[in-house]
Amino acid sequence: MENQSTFNDLTAHLRMLLQSESYSSSTVKDMDFILKAFTAYMNANALDEYTPEIGECLIQYCEQELKVCPSRVSRAKVIVRKLNRLYQGLDGRDALWGDKTAVVNLPSSLSQSLDAYISYCRGNGNKQTTLHYKRWILSRFLDNLSALGCEDTGDISGKLIQKAFLQLSFSRYWERIAPFLRFLFEHGTLERDYSRLVQYRKKNDPQPTVYSTDEISAIEDSIDRTTPVGIRNYAIVLLLSRYGIRSCDIASLTFENVDFTDNRIHFIQQKTGEPWESELLPEAKEALLDYINKVRPEVAGCQQIFMTLVIPYTPMDYGAINTMVGALLRNAGIPINGRRHGSRAFRSSIASNMVNDNVSTEVVRRVLGHGTKHAIRHYARIDIQSMRLCPLAVPAPSGNFAELLSGKDGGSSV
């Protein structure tokens, strides 16, 4: 593309590229949130021309002034890198992916195996961006194998796989490499299944983040309900704290979903596709009506309840709700170090309070709108007190361990 330097031209072209690459809707929404924040900064500072130096200012604006969550700061950095490549005159995937677009020349056998796997993933519904990322990682891995003297899939061994993987210097790449190796084994290309050669496990939180009822009350009390933003945010927080509704469902809530006459709230959940319905509690009804009657801007043809409060008025997205929740937690003085501080934390907090009140996990599942009984396992981790009532007996030592204990008790050295 011809070199462009105006911010509006660059962002318009970037949006077109993102759409052409079939990014997931959640990723596009998240990027759109960052681009809107960038636009607000440019307008506020009367800036029209974009430069990489301004890109650094945009990142600082998101991090220091908007105080978005770390994941969104990372997203802002990614978008600035894409804008910089467009600014330098790159286009298409070169602009979107940078060095990830470099073509790796592989031996024929390795290249054919990679193509077969990518075709298999495409048939399983992987989006183009996911396929591109998988190809990029696996190409580097296979290139390392080739450099180690592996010119054919028949030459692949466990020792070579370990060496090639370690040269990548990033353990999370095994998430992509292991399924590829399993595919080769299941399709007869490899004689052994090497997918478990490297034991990699994602780091999981020991249990969901839970905020106490006192902390949730502190969050609600910290909201300034004399301002339009505070009135709107208070209504959103009550939907989170009283029902545990997902932020994506709150963002898409319309007037058809709330029956103020019969005091019911109902909608189809975006995540599960299952219907959800509950009584409209008095405090939630009062907060919603206060927002709708006093604050919500009138936008012709727009049915979404929750709107931004600056021109141009647009429906809020789930990312804005998550960012708002994080800001409220900090303003209320709630400790968030090592704890999740988005809207999802309200769901686990509700589950914890219900389980502690001896409400069955099946009822918890239905209240929160989970479509599968497997979700009950997630809440079982919260009920620490009940879990302590049913510990397993420690098994008697046996084998080498028993001999070790016996030798130690007898005073012999080991």
Beta bridge partners of 254: 304
| Mean pLDDT of the region 244-269 | 92
The region, left, alpha or beta by phi > 0 then psi within -120 to 50, assigned to residue 34 is alpha
Do residues 123 and 117 make contact, with C-beta atoms less than 8 angstroms apart? no
Span 305-352, pLDDT tens digits: 999 888 888 888 887 888 888 888 888 888 887 777 777 788 878 877
SS3 404: helix
Contacts (Cβ under 8 Å, ≥6 apart) of 20: none
Q: What is the pLDDT of residue 99?
A: 58
| DSSP per-residue string spanning 333-389 | T---TTS--STHHHHHHHHHHHHHTT--HHHHHHHHT-SSTTHHHHHHTT-HHHHTT
| Model confidence, pTM | 0.51
Please report where in the chains the tokens 């898409």 appear, as a residue: 252
| Lowest-pLDDT range of 9-13, 91-95, 222-226, 264-268 | 91-95
Residue with tokens 């804008």: 83
Contact 326, 342 (CB under 8 A): yes
Q: In what order do the strands lie in the sheet with 275-279?
A: 258-259, 264-268, 275-279
What residue type is 196 in one-letter code? Answer: R
Rounded Cα gap, residues 327 and 28, in angstroms: 23
Indicate the residue type of 280: L
Q: What is the CA radius of gyration of the chain?
A: 27
- Residue ranges in 194-300 assigned as alpha helix (H): 213-222, 228-243, 247-251, 282-294
CB atoms within 10 A of CB 197: 16
Q: Tell me what pLDDT residue 413 has.
A: 43
My answer on whether omega of the bond before 228 falls inside 30° of 0, hence cis, is: no
Which amino acid belongs to residue 97? W
Residue 2 pLDDT greater than 60, yes or no: no
What would the mean pLDDT of 67-84 be, rounded to a whole number? 87
The better pLDDT of the pair 184, 44 is held by 184
**SS3 of 307, please?**
strand
Spatial separation of the C-alpha atoms in residues 106 and 91, rounded to whole Å: 25
86: closest CA among 134, 47, 36, 35? 35
Burial bucket for residue 182 (CB in 10 Å: 0-12, 13-18, 19+): middle
Token reading at 342: 């988005």
- Measured from the Cβ of residue 211, the count of other Cβ atoms closer than 10 Å reads 25
pLDDT at 204: 55
Say how far apart CA 90 and CA 82 lie, in whole Å: 9
Computed over every residue of the chain, the mean pLDDT equals: 83
Q: Residue 204, exposed/middle/buried by CB under 10 A (0-12, 13-18, 19+)?
A: exposed
pLDDT for residue 411:
47
Q: Do 253 and 267 meet the contact criterion of CB atoms below 8 Å apart?
A: yes
- Coil, helix or strand at residue 277: strand
Specify whether the backbone of 22 is left (phi greater than 0), alpha (psi in -120 to 50) or beta: left
